[in-house]
Amino acid sequence: MPAYMHMGHDTENLIDEQALAFQGIILSPVNREPEFLLKFMKKLRTKTTCEVILDPQLYFPRGKRGCVNKQPYFPSDFESVDVASPAWWGHIVGSLADYAIKLNIDLVAFPTIHPRIWDDGYFNTCVKSSNELNKILSKTSIKVFTTVLVNTSQLADEKFVLWTASLVTGQITSGFYLVLSGDVDPRRELNDSEEILGIMRLIRELRRTKLPVIVSHCASDMILFRAAGATACATGKFFNLRRFTKSRYNEPDGGGGQLPYWFEHSLLSFIRESDILRLKQGGFDNLVCNGPSDNIWGKAILDNFQKVSYKPWLGNGWRQYLAWFSKASEELDGNDASVIVHDWLKAAENNWIELEDAEILMEEPRNNGRWLRPWRQALAKFLKS
């Protein structure tokens, strides 16, 4: 079960749901105050043995930190201090280690910040502080992963990829926690083939250490990262790409997170209820509920459409997507993921071409599958390299 679930706002009830086979969960300090997290962990340990990761989320944008600044490791002088100061980081690392032990978690990601410039100084500070956190927790069972926060636009430069990998891999660590920061709107698919290729190359370089790599804040692009060798990927119920990074806050107020969506594997796309009906009425019933999209929550949604007592299905839409994510992740585990993903991408693009020829148009104008071509280009280049 190489998949993790981000515990965003009001998601605790999803942990025990059927068909959501996640290896573990990632706590979200931005959504919950310390007292809640402590109570939640005590209750969780009585219900499940799933792995629990603490992501400190210090990289959260200024002014949008939610509950992060209430956490015991958050420094009161965050806005004014020299963030390159070893002493300043030492205080954060010590407080975080104490908090991790108190929470009784399994793994903690190093608390990196969002830098103004990605340079040697930034990455060296991350490496040194991560080493210090490892030393403090070495006498416990808690593992430490190095958080690798990167700007996706810079990854189009292969030299930057190799430079980044060389800086973050030369240290004591149990693995890597990759956070992607970019300019793409949270609900839009990545569509720059060179940036995607750069992400895949970075994953490959990190995996050369033989250590695990978890890619955070994923959506359907998870399949590309698994094809590149990522050990596991994480997602949340709102399927927001790069949810806790700066691009999350470039959206208009309201964001659109309360619209019900279905994730369709045959198209590798999120579609609306009207789109499902449009496919069925247009003679493309075969493109609904395919592969990992065929799960108990998908069936529940389709059954609901036939009932006189129709009910809103926002919550089941989250579950249907999360079930797809966990099931698709499982299908890519223990197999040649790159071959499987190649076939998934090719089939999905062909299905979109058929829909275009038949003038079956989705409700949202940008939902046309055109991101699949750069995805296929990136995968092809990656495999050749």
Domain boundaries, the chain: 3-249, 262-384
**pTM score:** 0.92
Q: Mean pLDDT over all residues of the chain? A: 88
Weakest-pLDDT range from 136-150, 176-190, 218-232, 361-375: 176-190
**How far is the C-alpha of 336 from the C-alpha of 324, rounded, in Å?**
19
**How far is the C-alpha of 161 from the C-alpha of 375, rounded, in Å?**
18
| Residues 100/137, Cβ–Cβ less than 8 Å | yes
pLDDT of residue 252: 45
Instruction: Kindly state the tokens that stand for 133.
Output: 């956190």
| Residues 32/6, Cβ–Cβ less than 8 Å | no
Cα–Cα distances in angstroms (integers) from residue 127 to residues 168, 200, 273, 328, 332, in the given order? 6, 22, 47, 33, 31
DSSP designation for 201: H
DSSP letters for 220-258: TTHHHHHHTT-SEEEE-TT--TTTTSGGGGSSPTTTTTT
CA angle 162, 341, 238 (to 5 degrees): 85
Confidence class for position 15, pLDDT limits 50, 70, 90: confident
| Residues 189/152, Cβ–Cβ less than 8 Å | no
User: Which amino acid is residue 272, in one-letter code?
Assistant: R
pLDDT of residue 77: 80
Half-sphere exposure of residue 383: CA atoms within 13 angstroms, side-chain side = 16
Instruction: Kindly state the tokens that stand for 175.
Output: 């693995």
pLDDT of residue 384: 94
pLDDT in tens, 235-286: 988 654 344 445 454 444 444 457 899 999 999 999 999 999 999 999 999 9
| Residues 151/182, Cβ–Cβ less than 8 Å | yes
pLDDT of residue 263: 96
pLDDT in tens, 155-172: 999 999 999 999 888 778
User: Which amino acid is residue 15, in one-letter code?
Assistant: I
pLDDT in tens, 73-106: 998 887 766 666 777 888 889 999 999 999 999 9
pLDDT of residue 1: 57
Instruction: State the architecture of 3-249 in CATH terms.
Output: Alpha-Beta Barrel (3.20)
* Short-list 210, 220, 206, CA closest to 155: 206
| Residues 134/147, Cβ–Cβ less than 8 Å | no
CA 79 from chain centre, in angstroms, equals 27
Instruction: Kindly state the tokens that stand for 304.
Output: 């609901």
**How far is the C-alpha of 278 from the C-alpha of 41, rounded, in Å?**
44
Secondary structure element (H or E) that encloses residue 178, with its range: strand 176-181
Instruction: Kindly state the tokens that stand for 352.
Output: 């979109």
